[in-house]
């Protein structure tokens, strides 16, 4: 992106050392700062997990992730570079943007599952089209929708919401196992299911607000 990753020789790429744009000395590829002159570096093409120094896997300690996100933002956010040169300000914005993207992706189980599938080479389509023949999943989605449409009291909606929340928790637990076992067929199906469930939970919430304002 910023042309700093020069491919002078094979050796350079293998060892992952690139020149710092500011002091021109060696920097490890993907490092946020130059260890010599402390200048902020371009964010580079690192995957979201690596940005936090994590292994690419489904189970993530979200609290620890948030702490680390805050720590990194504290160093990389554009607010910290207001008085610096325009190049550093621009790099800090790119860094903070990449960090936000990585954090937003990893903190949410659905987006994390989607992203892991993407890293594996399978993009799970928004409507689960690549699994449209999954009858069981379709039936479940239709039943959930019916239950929501019929819910005309706060109690009934709360019941649907609770069911959705339970199903989501179950689905996430099942995803953890499936990802750990690298059972890609199951992870794909469960990711699609999580999509349906999350959509239902959102719709339930909207329905609830609407009903509350009518009562």
Partner 1 sequence: MSEEESLPLLQITEPGAAPEETGEVKKAVAVGIDLGTTNSVIAVSRDGTPKVLEDDMGEALVPSVVAYAPDGSAIVGGLAKRLLLDRPESVVSSIKRLMGRGPEDVRSLAGVMPFEIEPYQDGETGMVRIKVMGHRKTPVEVSADILAALKNLAEEEAGEQVEQAVITVPAYFDDAARTATKDAAQLAGLEVLRLINEPTAAALAYGLDQGAEGLYAVYDLGGGTFDISLLRMEKGVFQVKATGGDAALGGDDFDHAIAEHFLKERAKTLGEANLTRDEVKVSLMTGRLAKECLTHENSGQWVLESDGQTSTHDLTRDEFEKLIEGYVDRTLEICAHVLDDAEVTASDVKGVVLVGGSTRVPLVRRKVEAFFGSEPLANIDPDKVVAVGASLQAEALTVGSDTLLLDVTPLSLGLETMGEMTEKVIHRNTPIPVAKAQEFTTYQDGQTAMMIHVVQGEREMVDQCRSLARFVLKGIPPMTAGAARIRVTFQVDADGLLTVSAREETTGVEQMVEVKPSYGLSEDEMANMLRDSMVHAKDDIQDRLLAESRVEASRVLNAVIAALQVDGDLLTGEERAKVDSAVAVLDQAIKGSTREEIDAAVDVLDKETQEFAARRMDRGIRDALSGVGVDTLEEKISEE
Q: Which residues bind partner 1 (CB under 8 A)?
A: 11-12, 15-17, 19-20, 22-28, 31-33, 35-40, 53, 66-68, 70-88, 93, 96-97, 100-101, 103-104, 205, 209, 212-213
Instruction: For partner 1, give the closer residue by CB, 20 or 178.
Output: 20
Report the C-alpha gap between 140 and 199 in whole angstroms: 13
The distance of closest approach from Cβ of residue 60 to partner 1 in the complex, given in angstroms and rounded to an integer, is: 16
Instruction: For partner 1, give the closer residue by CB, 63 or 136.
Output: 63
- Two tokens at 67? 């702490």
Report the C-alpha gap between 196 and 215 in whole angstroms: 28
CA distances from 195 to 21, 109, 142 (A): 42, 10, 14
Instruction: For partner 1, give the closer residue by CB, 32 or 160.
Output: 32
| Residue 65, SS3 per DSSP | helix
The distance of closest approach from Cβ of residue 22 to partner 1 in the complex, given in angstroms and rounded to an integer, is: 4
Contacts of 129 (CB under 8 A, 6+ apart): none
The distance of closest approach from Cβ of residue 213 to partner 1 in the complex, given in angstroms and rounded to an integer, is: 8
- Two tokens at 56? 């690419």
The distance of closest approach from Cβ of residue 81 to partner 1 in the complex, given in angstroms and rounded to an integer, is: 7
Instruction: For partner 1, give the closer residue by CB, 103 or 115.
Output: 103
């Amino acid at each position: 992106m910023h042309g700093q990753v020069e491919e002078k020789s094979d050796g350079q790429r293998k060892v992952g050392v690139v020149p710092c744009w500011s002091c021109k000395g060696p920097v490890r590829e993907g490092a946020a700062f130059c260890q010599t002159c402390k200048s902020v570096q371009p964010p580079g093409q690192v995957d979201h997990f690596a940005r936090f120094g994590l292994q690419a896997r489904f189970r993530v300690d979200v609290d620890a992730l948030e702490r680390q996100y805050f720590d990194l933002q504290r160093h990389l956010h554009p607010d910290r570079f207001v008085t610096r040169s325009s190049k550093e300000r621009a790099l800090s914005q790119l860094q903070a943007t990449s960090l936000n993207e990585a954090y937003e992706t990893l903190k949410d189980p659905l987006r994390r599952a989607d992203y892991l599938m993407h890293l594996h080479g399978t993009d799970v389509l928004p409507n689960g089209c690549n699994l449209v023949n999954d009858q069981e999943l379709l039936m479940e989605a239709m039943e959930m929708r019916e239950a929501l449409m019929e819910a005309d009291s706060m109690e009934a909606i709360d019941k649907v919401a609770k069911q959705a929340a339970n199903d989501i928790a179950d689905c996430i637990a099942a995803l953890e196992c499936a990802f750990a076992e690298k059972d890609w067929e199951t992870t794909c199906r469960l990711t699609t299911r999580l999509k349906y469930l999350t959509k239902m939970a959102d719709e339930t919430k909207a329905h609830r607000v609407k009903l509350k304002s009518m009562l």
